[in-house]
Structure 1
């Protein structure tokens, strides 16, 4: 399992690395070939249809908890019933999502607003139908993906993700160059989703040989899962509001161009989120095992684990956020999106910087779920999400995409920066003073990169691409050396060295 864990983390970063390369190389081409209107329409419809993922009702996130319970007791019969229940539940949920989505596709004007033209509304309807089918199939696939994760088969899971990341641009780019638009892009995504479902299903049945039974359903267990999953559903609703409702607000208040600008910023923000969850996601089974064992020192175990993972996430996200502050504006306008997207840099900063607090603490979400104490977070976040909508509407009318991002930033700071840290410390008994002291110990290594970054922004104008690349490389080297020497502890230095060369005792 340790090999699976290490390989899972390494493969995750390979996937992320390739994703970044694709973001830098493929996405700018896609945005330019589609044009601002078509790209804005694509990101708007994708964001709206993603609300149908709420039909999972939070059951996906609850699987690990109940799997750990039966697996700990070696109750194969109970595990078989659990798998059968989840499979049938998700078949029903996928069907309901499909029917609801197809019904909504008949009302594009009511959904997307009157700012869109007739042609854009017709195209939006076609996009919506295809994406609805994609969501329905994804719901079915998600249960098998959860099973693979529960068995800690991270290598297979990351390879599937890697294939999906690579195949998408290699298929889409030739089609875009041939003149096909965003409809063909979502058709390709649908094909990839079907492929992932087939691979996950094959692996669960043929390799893992998972037990599955459609008999002896335990009604009490279904009720317990429903109660547990309800609050996960609230979390999903919150995420949808925080990250997608802004696009819908902008489509009604400003039009498709502001949606496109926000869409570019969302892609940048998505990269930060991806890097953060890469490490924490592979620790989910371990967190659930600690909760299942319920040792007397489980709170101390969670404190140490949260600080350990938080430090690593902070050091990685620190590089990304500082690099984006220094080089991001030139990157978005000259490399990534092109002219017309200048405001995306400011929007990105409003989305990314306030989210750093939650991103280095997202392993706490897994801890809450494992302890069945995620209800408070759900309630607080739903209140803040509603608050986000109310303040974002007037801000959008006045400042456009920047205004909606400001609304999201305010809600994130209040909920994540203050309320949740108190909850972790007082209720979950995770020593957040220790956590922030551990984060604080890394700050010495940030001093030199901050000074260098400030000098670059003050005195260097990136008139040539070579100058831009050289400055990025120089900053990467300075940041890496400074963090390694002044921020990393002994274990973190060993981790860095182990990724470069194999230790002699691992032969």
Structure 2
């Protein structure tokens, strides 16, 4: 029940969040202007680099929780004690580091920034550093809640944060407040969510903390394990944040705004993937403890087919409607973002449909090779991005990213999973690759409709989108879906029909 409802809520949150931001981002652009919006996104990306202070601890919690749970309750309590101590310490470090960064904004950003923009960046960095510190403390309680598979509470908590922020921000913008007020709203909401999670974990789930000498050995084991997760996080930060910082260094705030729009839309694909894979992290750790590689391969295939189907549905829809969508959403001056997004997302489909593989690597403590190889490719990404941004402008920011993803997350990780992790990738691709044909005809139909019809108005935009989606789903169900997937769909439709009849 928790997994099923949690997964549905997770996807609901993805659509609600992005639905909200469809309205939220144009609102910010309208009230703040392209320059201040770009500045807000740039400082956010810069301060997010502080998340490397987590040292991979959050990603390690579920594994160590299940190991401790198979021993005694005291081992679980000692684990909680280690985590609250560590994250309390790095929260203080994050605030100090944010203060140092804020006092050196002139070194981080382009000389083309005005004195007023530099002052705003200073204030934003201080507030955002406090926000990161609050996030560190929240991760202790959130990790415990996830390890206990309380996905319903976790997803409702996320839904609250999605809805509260834009409502409050809209009111503040209406009364003339700027980007600094937006950051303060984020901080206030996150403090409230921290208190809510802490109350649920401690009060309802009876989370306890113990401290003693045994923690030193436990801490050593976590650091050894988490060190390579830290490298993964650094790689993600480099790949996701550094190109934006490089754009800010060599180009203008307007170019940063274009890159920010690209990252926001690309983030949708990450959210669609993680919404499902995060639900299965506790199950992966249980299967690894039982040394059941066949079940792990089966799970990765099942989840991978669903993830890839959803991702292809979204990508095909963007290919058909993306140009008009960006025009509606962000306005004029963002046309190049359409091609940047397509170029970035296509190679990302491989790792995003294989996120369960990463969790299996971590559960088996076999994530070291991934960390080292992707770390080397992240350095390559930065070098290529610096060269390409100076030569090709903002479009150059995607070139290094695409190459590193194809080589590292695509080729190297598939070989590693097959020969070293114990996942049968031949079975995986034999079962998953048929999904790749699903969007071909729907995209063709959608592009033809786009040529024949004027989709510069909302009604025709929605009509073309609906036709594309129905065509995609019919082809998937008739030609691609296996018997288990068809049975699941029929069961869901049957239950919905019964509920409609009861209401009627």
- Output the TM-score relative to the length of structure 1: 0.96
Corresponding residue to 2:310 among 316, 332, 337: 316
2:31 aligns with 33
Alignment of 1:330 with 2:324, yes or no, is yes
1:220 aligns with 217
Alignment of 1:350 with 2:343, yes or no, is yes
Corresponding residue to 1:472 among 459, 465, 477: 465
Hey, what's the Cα distance between the residues in 2 that align with 1:34 and 1:500? 45
Corresponding residue to 1:437 among 426, 430, 433: 430
Off by >6 Å, runs of 4+ in structure 1 = 503-507
1:44 aligns with 42
Hey, what's the Cα distance between the residues in 2 that align with 1:111 and 1:388? 19
Residue deviations 1:109-128 (CA, integer Å, cap 9, x gap): 01123231111111100000
**How far did 1:329 drift?**
1.0
Hey, what's the Cα distance between the residues in 1 that align with 2:393 and 2:209? 51
2:67 aligns with 69
Hey, what's the Cα distance between the residues in 2 that align with 1:215 and 1:312? 45
CA distance 1:501–1:211, shift in 2 (3 Å): farther
**How far did 1:503 drift?**
8.5
Q: Indicate the larger mover: 487-496 or 357-366.
A: 487-496
Hey, what's the Cα distance between the residues in 2 that align with 1:151 and 1:17? 25
1:155 aligns with 152
Q: Indicate the larger mover: 263-272 or 400-409.
A: 400-409
**How far did 1:441 drift?**
2.6
Alignment of 1:86 with 2:83, yes or no, is yes
1:111 aligns with 108
CA distance 1:329–1:67, shift in 2 (3 Å): same
2:359 aligns with 366
**How far did 1:447 drift?**
4.1
Q: Indicate the larger mover: 231-240 or 96-105.
A: 96-105
Aligned residue-pair number = 500
CA RMSD of aligned residues (A): 1.7
Note the residue ranges of structure 2 that are not aligned, 5 or more in a row: none
**How far did 1:442 drift?**
2.6
Hey, what's the Cα distance between the residues in 1 that align with 2:36 and 2:422? 49
Q: Is the 8 A contact 2:284 2:359 kept in 1?
A: yes
1:186 aligns with 183
- Output the TM-score relative to the length of structure 2: 0.96
**How far did 1:344 drift?**
1.4
**How far did 1:436 drift?**
1.1
Hey, what's the Cα distance between the residues in 2 that align with 1:500 and 1:117? 57
Hey, what's the Cα distance between the residues in 2 that align with 1:349 and 1:221? 44
Corresponding residue to 1:171 among 168, 187, 192: 168
2:2 aligns with 4
Corresponding residue to 1:16 among 14, 17, 25: 14
Alignment of 1:456 with 2:449, yes or no, is yes
